[in-house]
Amino acid sequence: MRLFALTLSALVAVLILGMIAASAMLKQNTIGPPIAPDPQQHAEAIVQVYGADVWGFRGNFAIHTWIATKPPNAPAYTIYQVIGWRLRRNGTAVSITTGMPNKPWFRSPPLLLHEVRGSHANVLIAEIDAAVNRYPYDKEYVMWPGPNSNSFTEWIVLEVPGLGFNLPAKAIGKNWMQETYSELISR
């Protein structure tokens, strides 16, 4: 009996340590506070990639991602993302809106994951917009394994290599797109 109790205690300790290690590995790297410069005060072109924990317990393991662009002298940002419930309402999961991109996602604070400014950002903006318009899964949404919001962002990352960015481990769905993308471009 004592051996069983010791073995069970050791297994529980290993499980807890494994969960702590996995949580540390899934922590996304941010480049700073989630600040979108006021477009009225910043004339330069800006591209930003954001992420925020998904709602509920799943937020420990997954994020929702989106991309925002602001051409030079533009009065607002264009925000590109995929939202599952939009598919049922609008016939497309792709959402293209204008506004400030650093808003919470269902009460989860946004995290600025990547940013490009200036002339390089200006070049990327047209490429990002074209990639969004070529997205082949706008009429599909599957929370796991994809296509989902992270598959969409990964599509843009793959289509616009000049963005120079890799999504974090918590971007569940990015791997689905990486595998699918290889099949798409080989056709």
Q: How many CA atoms lie within 13 A of 36 on its CB side?
A: 24
Checking if the pLDDT of 19 tops 80, the result is no
The residue range of the domain holding 32 is: 2-186
pTM for the model stands at: 0.82
pLDDT one-digit tens code per residue, 129-167? 999 999 999 999 999 999 999 999 999 999 999 999 999
> Which long-range contacts link 75-80 to residues 24+ away (Cβ below 8 Å)?
75/39, 75/40, 76/39, 76/100, 77/36, 77/39, 77/46, 77/48, 77/101, 78/129, 80/128, 80/132, 80/152, 80/156
If one counts the domains in the chain, the total is 1
Q: Which carries the bigger pLDDT value, residue 16 or residue 74?
A: 74
CA distance 62 to 180: 20
C-beta separation of 62 from 106 below 8 A:
no
CA distance 126 to 130: 6
Mean pLDDT of 69-76: 98
Displacement of CA 66 from its chain's centroid (Å): 5
